[in-house]
Amino acid sequence: MIVSAMSGETNRLLGLAHQISPTPDMREMDSLASTGEQVSAALVAMTIQQMGGKAKSFLGHQIRIHTDDAFTKARILKIEDSKLRGAVQEGNIAVVAGFQGIDPGGNITTLGRGGSDTTAVAIAAAIKADVCEIYTDVDGVYTTDPNICPSARKIERISFEEMLELASLGAKVLQIRSVEVAMKYGVPVHVRSSFTDTTGTMVASEEGLESVVVSGVAYDKGEAKVQLVGMPDRPGIVAKIFGLLAEKNVSVDMIIQSPSRGGGSETDVTFTVAKTDLARVKELIEAAVKELGGGTVEYDPEITKVSIVGLGMRSHAGVAAKTFGILAGEGINIQGISTSEIKISCIIAAKYTELAVRALHTGFGLDKTA
């Protein structure tokens, strides 16, 4: 059993840190944040014991869950299974603190938001489990967020690839990394409710899946738009800026570079980053822009990325055009576009989020049939 922090606990801990600094040291953040799962693991083990079972809690450094040293978003490198197997052979339920590991220097790392899912899938892979069941507050993966689109349907079975896109596009039901790990090791993941016995959604390989054109609509309010206006258009400038961000482990999502203006001397670059990275990005970018000599920077946190995902896009032309048409039909301006083989994402003003999601859900025939 892999446990995550109690509801609200991770936010409480991050809040403590942000009272001290807007950009707290990431090594310290991880040591701080990992206590949430440590508390849960101990309490769950006690609860099982109190119910008459045998249980033992394990932390990342005890099992050992080895990760790289990218604090706050570390990747699991290797999981030792001997302590877990030993505990289970002694009749225990092993209760593992999710979300955490240790880097080669013995520092505590965490795997990013929802990282307990990744711990669960990685442990399932390490012990060669038949299935990894993820118990959550919803009863499965939906065609879109039922809170803003009442006609959303629960998906019975979805491919790793589609789930990966949905997760990376803002469907919060599973952490992206957990789906990557599941896909890499072929671990079927059953996403289901903590509150009912209903079968949830099985995330598995695409074999035997009917290939629908669009299987879901996702949205993500967690990004902010950064616009560099009037940058000197010299080779290497853009590389320099994104190199800086990469160095500091800031993930950049969509990047749009406009054609040169001013007789080829100036260019505009737009990109999106996680809102939580915005404070750090501002620091970095403003120093960089000054150093590079010119340009102004604008920030817009009031944006949403809406996306449609489906394996069937590979073989069906015109999905992009249809998407843009649906949004235009609602009077929604598209501020940026990015596509992959099985998804199309558009940046829109945050105020249109619900409208866009419902329009795309209906437009691509995902509504519940009564």
Q: According to the binding rule CB under 8 A, does residue 313 interact with its own copies?
A: no
Q: Residue 367 and residue 152: Cα distance in Å, rounded?
A: 6
Among 38, 109, 116, 136, binds its own copies (CB under 8 A): 38
Q: Residue 369 and residue 345: Cα distance in Å, rounded?
A: 26
Sort residue 249 into left (φ over 0), alpha (ψ -120 to 50) or beta. Answer: left
Q: Residue 325 and residue 308: Cα distance in Å, rounded?
A: 14
Among 3, 45, 96, 124, binds its own copies (CB under 8 A): 45
Q: How far is the CB of 74 from its own copies (least distance, A)?
A: 16
Coil, strand, or helix at residue 49? helix
Q: Residue 278 and residue 350: Cα distance in Å, rounded?
A: 17
Q: According to the binding rule CB under 8 A, does residue 275 interact with its own copies?
A: no
Q: According to the binding rule CB under 8 A, does residue 14 interact with its own copies?
A: no
**Which of 42, 229 has the CB closer to its own copies?**
42
Q: How far is the CB of 88 from its own copies (least distance, A)?
A: 16
**Which of 30, 117 has the CB closer to its own copies?**
30
Q: Residue 159 and residue 167: Cα distance in Å, rounded?
A: 12
In three-state form (DSSP H/G/I as H, E/B as E, the rest C), the secondary structure along 248-262 is: CCCCEEEEEECCCEC
Part of the chain binding its own copies (CB under 8 A), chosen from 27-35, 142-150, 227-235, 278-286: 27-35
Q: Residue 267 and residue 287: Cα distance in Å, rounded?
A: 18
Q: According to the binding rule CB under 8 A, does residue 66 interact with its own copies?
A: no
Q: How far is the CB of 351 from its own copies (least distance, A)?
A: 36
Q: How far is the CB of 45 from its own copies (least distance, A)?
A: 5
Total interface residues for its own copies by CB under 8 A = 32
Residue 230 one-letter amino acid: G
Coil, strand, or helix at residue 311? helix
**Site residues, its own copies (CB under 8 A):** 13, 16-17, 20-21, 24-25, 27-29, 31-32, 34-35, 38-39, 41-43, 45-47, 49-50, 56-57, 59, 61-62, 106-108
